[in-house]
Chain A
Amino acid sequence: MRYDNKQLADMLSAEYILGSLKGAARRRFEQLSKQRPDWAQTLHWWESRLHLLADTVPAANPSNKVWKNIEAQLFNRKATQQASWWKNWAFISTALAASFATLLVIQTPQAVVDTKPAAVALLASEENGAGWFLDETKHSPTDIEIKVIPLASLQTKSDNAFELWLLPADKSKPISLGLLPQQGSNVFKVPVEVIPLMATGLLAVSLEPVGGSPTGQPTGAVLYQGRMTKT
């Protein structure tokens, strides 16, 4: 009834794209627009138009180092790179606030780099068997990546997402580490502030709506567990 109101769908879609729709209303809208094709269509209509606002901004040339840094990060070309203080802030906010926390998915470095495997984990449960294998690589004490490999025994779910959580040993709130791939491997970068908690914390995988937990905390059943073990 209320949700059939065309004008409501219009206003919510437009405000969703504008960014003025926030919090619980935003998440509810996201869910609804996934379930209802007519809403999805309205959203698409506004999306393709309101983003044209970006075209009214004068173009400006970024400095050459931006492309050099991109190349260095993606293709292992040399470049000077400095993580600035606010970048850590960005990571903290992503990891903790994390309503749709998907950590930056980084492709497996193709070149051979001087790194050593640090720890591994198997995410499994008696009920569901083995789901993923995690392989941690330590580039430096503050630069740790985890390669996530879904196993053939994983029972995939197309209507849900699997979200990986770190349950800190001190029983503080779970920290989202991102969504797990159901096929093809991914590499996650471990946020700096989470690194010290990795060795002692427990890993858990919860079943979440597509896109991840809407609340920033696990909402579905915990299907798999594991722990990082030093190799």
Chain B
Amino acid sequence: MSQAKSSEELFHLIALSGQGDRVAFQALYDATSAKLFGLSLRILNRRDLAEEALQDAFINIWHHAQNYRPEKAAVMTWMTTIVRNKCFDLLRAMPHESQLIDDESMDDWASDDLGPLEKATEQSESKALLNCMNGLAPLQRQAIALSYFHGMAHEQLAAHLVQPLGTVKTWIRRGLQTLKSCLQGVSA
């Protein structure tokens, strides 16, 4: 879709949307919907559901745009949270047998080559995060990604990865600690 907009531009658009400016809201949709749809597609793995989640999320975004506080979260973070929550709502409401995980995309995280992930990544901050993720052991990385994209609890992760619960917990905790030190190095 359109060129990625800077956070300042997005903030401007959301502030106007909060005042009821429909044109700004459409511009906000045009600027962010493709990335956010990619996210909902990754979580729900079904186009029809992903579109419903995106639709519901943007309706929510319009209604709550006036409550957006820049000091609390970047616009994209705020919108990502709303979209992800909508997706998880749908996921929870679905019968278990129809919950599909796109294992192939999750395997990207366990691979030594993060090239495909890097290619999709647009913002420089996200590239820094990916770079730090690269420093984790592949299985730590995958456990963290599975948790983020599928909202999996430790028990579900253990079942999905066929690993003892304790092992999975350790992967996640150690992975997060390594990630933290790495990210602090970046922002320092």
Contact = CB atoms under 8 A, between A and B. Distances in A.
Contacts of B24: none
Given A49-B183, A52-B126, A54-B35, A19 B88 contact: yes
B10 interface: no
Interface in B19-42: 22, 26, 29, 33-39, 41-42
A197 interface: no
Contact of B172 (A15, A53, A57): A15
Interface residues of A, number: 49
A48 B94 contact: no
B120 A57 contact: yes
A97 B93 CA distance: 11
A84 to B, nearest CB: 7
A37 to B, nearest CB: 13
Nearest to A186: B63
B37 A59 contact: yes
Given A48-B77, A55-B123, A66-B51, A19 B152 contact: yes
Contacts of A49: 125, 129, 183
B120 A18 contact: no
A184 to B, nearest CB: 10
Secondary structure call for the A interface = helix
B63 A10 contact: no
A73 B59 contact: yes
B92 A55 contact: no
Contacts of A7: 177
B130 to A, nearest CB: 6
A7 B180 CA distance: 11
A55 B122 contact: yes
Interface string B59-93: 11011100000001110110011001000111011
Given A60-B34, A73-B59, A19 B148 contact: yes
Contact of A59 (B1, B72, B123, B151): B1
Interface in B106-153: 117-123, 125-126, 129-130, 144-145, 147-153
Nearest to B186: A49
Interface in A60-86: 60-63, 65-67, 69-70, 73-75, 84, 86
A10 B89 contact: no
Given A19-B88, A20-B154, A11 B173 contact: yes
Interface size on B, as a range, is: 35 or more
A53 B149 contact: yes
A51 B93 CA distance: 23
B37 A93 contact: no
Interface in A29-68: 44, 47-63, 65-67
A186 to B, nearest CB: 9
Interface string B144-188: 110111111110010000000000000011001101100100000
A17 B148 CA distance: 8
Which of B35, B38, B56, B72: most chain A CB closer than 10 A? B38
B172 A20 contact: yes
B92 A93 contact: yes
A171 interface: no
A22 interface: yes
A97 B88 CA distance: 13
A74 B94 contact: no
B54 interface: yes
Contact of A47 (B77, B117, B121, B123): B77
Given A14-B176, A49-B183, A56-B130, 4 more contacts: A18-B147, A84-B52, A86-B93, A107-B63
Interface of A: 7, 10-11, 14-15, 17-20, 22, 44, 47-63, 65-67, 69-70, 73-75, 84, 86-87, 89-90, 92-94, 97, 104-107
